[in-house]
Amino acid sequence: MEKFKLFISNFLIYGFGSIISSVIPLIMLPVITRLMPDSFYYGLSDISNTIVQFGTALAVMGMYDAVFRLFFDREDEDFQRTVSSTALVFTLISSLIVFLILILFRENLSLLFFGNEKYCNILYLTAISIFIGGTNSIVQIPTRTQNRRIVFIVLNTIGPVVSYAISIPLLLNGYYLIALPVAAVGTALTKEISFYVINRKWFDVRLFDTKVLKQLLVIAIPLLPNFLIYWIFNSSDRLMISWLIGASFTGIYAVGAKIGSAAQLIYQAFAGGWQFFAFSTMNEEQQVENNSRIFEYLGAISFGCATLVFALSHWLFRLLFTGVYIDAYICAPYLFLAPLMQMLFQVAANQFLVVKKTWPNMLILSVGAISNVLLNLFLIPRIGVEGASIATLVGYIVSDIICCVVLCKMKLMIVYQRFILCTLVMLLFIIAWRFFLISSTLYSCVGAIGVISYIIYLYWPDIYLLLNSKK
């Protein structure tokens, strides 16, 4: 019971800290877009952020998860300090290498990413963010391993506050091009210094150990392919939009993605508790049935939430934004549903881990990622940012379908008829919304209520049992 209480408290605290860092940018988004005179500037900033995510992950190279895995191998503080210090030295060197590559090839990379060599200044700031961010994740680890929850939540709150304290004055003074990248550097530096000061006793470069590094790399390197696949899903759209139709459209897409990322709050809550449940129940007799039920329940809930986002998207964007940013309403619903489809994939694909077969996850996700890229190439030139958002959603759906088919053949999953009906109704609603209801919030809401009512009808026996079980 004590372990269960610890799990719940950690889930709530760390989940709340992660949600705060996501909610504050979501709330501030309308303010930022009003201060920027053109979506082109927001697009360049978003591309910079995309490069930071990619470069930071390359620099960290899975070391964050590897340190967590190795840290608790021994209840020996000296060994734990050696692990932390070795990881810090490695990420410091790898971050420096990525930083130098960006600086040395700044003109070519500026032309590749931003479409013009004159944006080298943004690339300088991008490189600095990567250099700081690579070690940032490592200096935070002792805070998590020591379960210092208050420190975690406070610093996750301070980060966005620092970001907007820097960016808003710069925007007000007309520094549209560098405001957000400078804010990103300031935020990363603030968190780096804060966590290092708090956790400095855990780091000493003299403790670097090549044997420990080999152990860390054995765990870390296999994690890279999965990162690259998820990066293709979540970030490559921005670069392809910029290359195919221009950075100003990237800015519009980024705003739609930011609103759509509200689904990430649901995803983060799920991810915080899923692994504990999944592996603690994997030996139960009804494990396949229970996992299949969770899959369809989460799918039904996701569809119900997404119908409301589709119905209200146009009204919400007209309320919050002005100018060309209103056009982002067309992609937000697809990008809201996409991470929920990722969540369903993880629920289903967990069955491969249960039987100790991890390679199908990467293979199936790769097919989805390739589908995403190919659809981007076909749809973006034809229907713009909407095409990119559809491609992301379809990529995850392809992965979900393949995963379910394979697992059903392996008798590791059951897909019930009512979930297939639920899925078909959701698909019909999306088609009807796009071609007939999109111009009317009222009719869209009526359609959404109809879909939700049908989902409730399909799952009413389960809902009834749940309600009565609490009496």
pLDDT tens, 208-227? 999 999 988 887 887 778 77
Q: What is the mean pLDDT of residues 446-451?
A: 96
Q: What is the mean pLDDT of residues 402-411?
A: 93
Task: Tokens for 80, please give them.
Answer: 């734990």
pLDDT number for residue 356: 64
pLDDT number for residue 347: 84
**Cα-Cα end-to-end distance for the chain:** 23
Q: Which residue has better confidence, 393 or 30?
A: 393
Q: Give residue-wise pLDDT tens across range 273-288.
A: 554 454 445 555 677 8
Maximal C-alpha separation, the chain? 67
Task: Tokens for 165, please give them.
Answer: 């304290």
Using DSSP, state whether 116 is helix, strand or coil.
Answer: coil
* Residue 159 reports pLDDT greater than 90: no
- Residue 69: phi and psi, rounded to 5, are -70, -40
Closest to 120 measured CA to CA, from 132, 103, 135: 103
Indicate the burial class of 443 (C-beta count within 10 angstroms; 0-12, 13-18, 19 or more): middle
Domain ranges of the chain: 2-222, 235-469
Q: Tokens 């983060």 label which residue?
A: 268
Report residue 126's pLDDT band, with 50, 70 and 90 as the boundaries: very high
Q: Where is mean pLDDT largest: 56-60, 206-210, 363-367, 423-427?
A: 423-427
Q: Which of 4-8, 201-205, 355-359 has the lowest mean pLDDT?
A: 4-8
Q: Is this prediction's pTM over 0.75?
A: yes
